[in-house]
Structure 1
């Protein structure tokens, strides 16, 4: 058995009645943590975000389905609450009705912490009487924040305040602000290790593979929230890159340049963003501008020059032989 699991498992058994020893399985995660579930009233998007001193917390705590709802299941985690809670919501039950049904059939309810938001923004939260102090939750308009094993009792209020104070931000950034608020109030008494951010559409589409709008995880890090924020900014940068590519397809070169520049502003050190920006310019007969971008890229990493040689074969670079020679010889 994992040596880190032994003391926590012993603590769990001490908390429960003797007959309840079978409630907890050694394979289940001990996600003592803080989290938020929320619905964006403007977009209908549904989300859950979490941070914990536990490896890969996002694989245990956070669950969401487009057009259905979001669930956070933590403390002495019952992972089945995620898929089962979503199934109950999908069957037509409200967040509270779904939570009531989950807890009714769970003998370990006193050590569970669960929060649910449904597709109408209704929230339901449970903090078991035997969750480890400091433990609690706070509900707001279409969101709920919850925490257990915190350093201070101020975490839920700090999360709620941060979420509400950043109403002008997109939902993913608001969730991150809430997590940062929790950390600012002391956070997990054990420290930090992993974090996750999951956002889905408010309505399911006919292309379910596109319904997860943001799905980011930091499984192990000394600064998981800082890394989660970096990944979110990187995702935003690639959204600009995708928008730039679409603008190129529509022959909107000024629009493409604006999007590429926005992407590069978010991550100026990312060579790939600069590279495809340059290739798009070259394909639009703006070779001098393309070369200005390509020269430092080739100097820093020669493999990009090798890749450029291969692009004409698949139609991704449409230059004359002389123009291609000029590009490949750029220094």
Structure 2
């Protein structure tokens, strides 16, 4: 019994010593993540999953034209902002990591992955990160994990990322995370995930550059499944946005193509159905548009009221006869 008490005391004391070396408000984020740059587009990304609430607000950091950073294990969140600032000043990924760790008393419980705008990569796994902990540094990417169920996670993530080069960067990052979960993932389970993709260059429009993909699942039984669903929704709404732009330019053929592409991805989404129908109407395919609208009105009459409002603002440009046909329920 005395030996057991001694062991418990020793363990608690050891962990207390580690905790004292870290900042008082630091979060635990035992997790797996990936930082990566797309060699074709230059875009940069961070993907992460953890058994921790809202991991995306802690681990993932990125800025257009600068780089991407994942800071985890016993998280030092300052590594995100300070790291991006160092990269922005012209430091490489490795130089940035070296500076961040140089005065960090808790570096042995840190795990950090960095990719800069040129594709340089730096990664660190402290010797006191909880097993299984490790990383793989690849060409323009790194994967890192700690407190995993098995030691297979980094290799599985690297293989999945490298073998999906035909996909867009966000989808490749998601594939890597799915591979991590497939070989066991976090020993504690799963709770949250995040996916952030930023532009290759700073165009002076951060509202566009830093939100190419910016998705978070803060609390979910299957965070990667939900993240994949959200990414698919985003891709569909990218088509919707392109359709809206085409409408602004009075290119109804293009609008119909884009709205139609979105609707194919989510055929039960009423809004996608609706704007496809309106694009058909503006292309004078009145009968087809009317048939679609009748089904939409039957499910939600608010869309009928919406149709009545469109001619006033130029979003429905049809004859009075065609307009009356479109209002039929």
Give the TM-score of the pair, scaled to structure 1. 0.91
The answer (yes or no) to whether the contact 1:24–1:76 under 8 Å persists in 2 is no
1:156-179 CA-partner distances (Å, limit 9, x unpaired):
000000000101111010000000
In the other structure, the counterpart of 1:262 is 261
2: CA distance between counterparts of 1:14 and 1:299? 66
Select the residue among 96, 101, 121 that pairs with 2:94: 96
2: CA distance between counterparts of 1:13 and 1:198? 38
The answer (yes or no) to whether the contact 2:256–2:279 under 8 Å persists in 1 is no
2: CA distance between counterparts of 1:47 and 1:97? 20
2: CA distance between counterparts of 1:75 and 1:12? 18
Question: 1:71, CA displacement in angstroms?
Answer: 0.3
Q: Map 1:16-55; keep pairs closer than 5 Å.
A: 17=17, 21=20, 23-25=22-24, 27-55=25-53
The answer (yes or no) to whether the contact 1:15–1:130 under 8 Å persists in 2 is no
2: CA distance between counterparts of 1:289 and 1:58? 44
1:16-69 CA-partner distances (Å, limit 9, x unpaired):
537x526242x4321110000001111100110001111111111000011110
The answer (yes or no) to whether the contact 2:74–2:110 under 8 Å persists in 1 is yes
2: CA distance between counterparts of 1:94 and 1:291? 58
2: CA distance between counterparts of 1:298 and 1:236? 26
* Cα distance, 1:311–1:14 mapped onto 2, change above 3 Å: farther
1:249-285 CA-partner distances (Å, limit 9, x unpaired):
4454443333222211111111111111112222333
Q: Map 1:45-124; keep pairs closer than 5 Å.
A: 45-124=43-122
In the other structure, the counterpart of 1:8 is none
The answer (yes or no) to whether the contact 2:93–2:121 under 8 Å persists in 1 is yes
Select the residue among 172, 175, 178 that pairs with 2:173: 175
The answer (yes or no) to whether the contact 1:13–1:21 under 8 Å persists in 2 is no
* Gaps in structure 2 of 5+ consecutive residues: 1-10
In the other structure, the counterpart of 1:146 is 144
* Cα distance, 1:13–1:141 mapped onto 2, change above 3 Å: farther
* Cα distance, 1:16–1:102 mapped onto 2, change above 3 Å: farther
1: CA distance between counterparts of 2:316 and 2:260? 20
In the other structure, the counterpart of 1:6 is none
2: CA distance between counterparts of 1:24 and 1:13? 17
Count of aligned pairs: 319
The answer (yes or no) to whether the contact 1:63–1:71 under 8 Å persists in 2 is yes
In the other structure, the counterpart of 1:7 is none
* Gaps in structure 1 of 5+ consecutive residues: 1-10
3-state DSSP class of the match of 1:17?
A: helix
In the other structure, the counterpart of 2:278 is 279
In the other structure, the counterpart of 1:296 is 295
Question: 1:295, CA displacement in angstroms?
Answer: 1.3
Matched, 1:165 2:163: yes
2: CA distance between counterparts of 1:93 and 1:247? 42
